[in-house]
Structure 1
């Protein structure tokens, strides 16, 4: 027997009243899938561990907007409202005005964990850190606007960009909501909303300023009507599990016959960032406004498509999901691909940082990055020391996490 969405009746989506406990259990299981998944879902502990390290001193970089959670999965192709596509930072939940070094270490830890998951040697990991620094520093050169053409893209990035250009609404619908009909199917990924949440969705998109977000694309009329077709709680991600997350399907112009008339909107709760901010810097007090402001500086294509609002007295960020929005997926890395991935993704992060600095600041920051190099490693000693220590701590934490949360499920 099937429901209205075609989901077998044997699977029952979790109702709103049972959601918190179910999400915690699911998050713990997702983080147990691999050491890399544990890294992605552990931003808070990353900064706790980083703050506890005593064997090194991190340089104080210029105060700029940083990602705050700069792991591999938070980078990928992003589409602009005009149809352009670039690989940029795609998740800014942890963004703050802080030390750019934190993004470098977070990215380095993610790359090192991915490399070890691909059974690459420690020598390869060390070389990846060198390549990462080369890519990052390239963004701060005199001709940083031409930096894209100076570093070869890895195969995974080229494949993703080709996929992004070809994708349509049907691809997005099949991937995100499992069908192309104007409904959101309830099941493993989407759970029912409470009556209060359904009313809040309707009220939210009755706001003209919010509804206008759905008409930003060049293919839509600015004054077109916006109607809520369906909405559901979205069980998505790892670090965001447990927070309010709602998928909303909209009809633009009251005609759902084509992809351009349908809009899949993501409502995501904005909470306080775990990433440390520099003292005495100005940032929006509202977490949703903070995220949007950080996105405008770090990922302009994404920033122009985001809005901050309130939902059931919670700060939230809204954005339309586009078919071209993808994330970097790393399954198995070869030695050569590992080098290219490290260099290229660090360049992407470097460009996001560099666009916030004037020429003088770029030059001085690059000089600082080139300090503290040893004769055997062409990367700063503070970076390598941090990565080595954090890889060990994450591995211990991951194994303990598996013992505590995943063993019962694995033996059932």
Structure 2
């Protein structure tokens, strides 16, 4: 069934919009000084102060309207699990429906006009550790389901707002959330400035190494926590999840997934991945680089199961596949359904494959990406990656003020690298400037949007209380 179309603006791009994805302006490549000058000129056309203004939603459109839209096409039996996870707090609600903020941002009267590849769901819990192909632990954005070409500051706005909402969620003072925004933005601009001194190749090769973040951590208490995270990351691989997710067939030696409903189960005949699996993985193999195809051929599939993941992804078709080589060494892949963005009708170029959109955004913005990152089709579009390949995220409940600030600094640094790699650091710095204006603008915006999110969450919880939205039990958490 075709998804209901929401009322959207006629367009995002205007005559004042500039495409930073190609580094070409008016037919020529920009020098560093020209890029900086262009950013300053754009600042005069679209003053930064205008970015603090929230949009007005179209008449008769509420958070519940967007929630219903985002639920279309999801597996019916999983919708109560999604609702349960979103109901935990205003922050899990914020995480669970990124399409709501994208919708609001599209209706904002003003944006910078500086368009490039962005994450699209850039909240603080979407940052974390992940493995490079060289098996080093890097730090950066690790979820790109909503990636798109849009105004660069949309990422900054979502990240800034997440610090205000998360601070309240873990009982930190509002001033802590606001200071975290300032810390994040200062770190973001400082690292952007460093990138303006680098060549395109140097920016491309640059990485945010988790061990470097540890070395720069002055707080002893925080250093111990980060050391613990680094140690645990090294152990998060296919072998580490085998005892929990699988059991071994004593005759063949192959392992198989153990059902753990409602979060993990083998598909019934009418469910995704119950058939055409061979074709799916052949298409996936074709999406890989040639050397990875040869590597992939050293494994054979032994099992596939459906698995509930995350908050916002619950209800979409997600699965895991177990592969083993001749000596029964494991490779576990995760397949996630890739749905069109809520803003896809506004895209200048039509997306041919949503899974390809996701991995292209990830490869462009991450310092290094999973070697098994690929895409395929099984009625729906999917993107594929390794499950838990040294992937870690922080525990917000474990944070005090100092930890919160240190984490904000790390997020700012990582986002700056992602934006510099995907866009143009010179233009961004020219637009942002080095003063306090952009800090005050985003603090004001984040405070306002956090209040809007709280009202949206309360409306959502009222619908739950009125039995208009069904939620699962605590076993779904």
> Aligned residue for 1:173?
242
Which of 92, 100, 112 pairs up with 1:59?
112
Q: Does 1:137 align with 2:189?
A: yes
CA shift in 2, pair 1:53/1:168, >3 Å: closer
> Aligned residue for 1:265?
333
Q: Structure 2 matches for 1:215-294, cutoff 5 A? A: 216=292, 222=295, 224-252=297-325, 254-256=326-328, 261-274=329-342, 280=348, 284-294=351-361
Q: Find the aligned partners of 2:146 and 2:156 in 1 and give their Cα distance.
A: 14
> Aligned residue for 2:3?
none
SS of the equivalent of 1:199 reads coil
> Aligned residue for 1:353?
419
Q: Does 1:32 align with 2:87?
A: yes
- Decide whether the 8 Å contact of 2:265 with 2:307 is kept in 1: yes
CA shift in 2, pair 1:407/1:165, >3 Å: farther
Output one character per residue of 1:171-224: Cα deviation in whole Å (capped at 9) or x when no partner. Answer: 23346x26688111112321231336322223323558259789849xxx7374
Output one character per residue of 1:43-101: Cα deviation in whole Å (capped at 9) or x when no partner. Answer: 111123334556xx44233x321110111222111113332220121111111122111
- Decide whether the 8 Å contact of 1:270 with 1:288 is kept in 2: yes
Which of 23, 27, 30 pairs up with 2:78?
23
Q: Does 1:46 align with 2:101?
A: yes
Name stretches of at least 5 consecutive residues in structure 2 with no aligned partner: 1-73, 250-254
Tell me the CA shift for residue 231 of structure 1.
Answer: 1.1
Q: Find the aligned partners of 2:413 and 2:425 in 1 and give their Cα distance.
A: 14
- Decide whether the 8 Å contact of 2:132 with 2:370 is kept in 1: no
> Aligned residue for 1:16?
none
Tell me the CA shift for residue 352 of structure 1.
Answer: 0.7
- Scaled by the length of structure 2, the TM-score of the pair is 0.70
Aligned length: 373
Q: Find the aligned partners of 1:327 and 1:319 in 2 and give their Cα distance.
A: 17
- Decide whether the 8 Å contact of 2:111 with 2:151 is kept in 1: no
CA shift in 2, pair 1:291/1:336, >3 Å: same
> Aligned residue for 1:336?
402
- Decide whether the 8 Å contact of 1:50 with 1:390 is kept in 2: no
- Decide whether the 8 Å contact of 1:230 with 1:249 is kept in 2: yes
> Aligned residue for 2:430?
367
CA shift in 2, pair 1:35/1:92, >3 Å: same
Tell me the CA shift for residue 29 of structure 1.
Answer: 0.8
Which of 73, 79, 89 pairs up with 2:131?
79
Tell me the CA shift for residue 157 of structure 1.
Answer: 4.7
Which of 391, 402, 406 pairs up with 2:450?
391
Tell me the CA shift for residue 393 of structure 1.
Answer: 0.9
Which of 308, 311, 316 pairs up with 2:375?
308
CA shift in 2, pair 1:344/1:276, >3 Å: farther
Q: CA RMSD in A?
A: 3.2
CA shift in 2, pair 1:21/1:223, >3 Å: closer
> Aligned residue for 1:11?
none
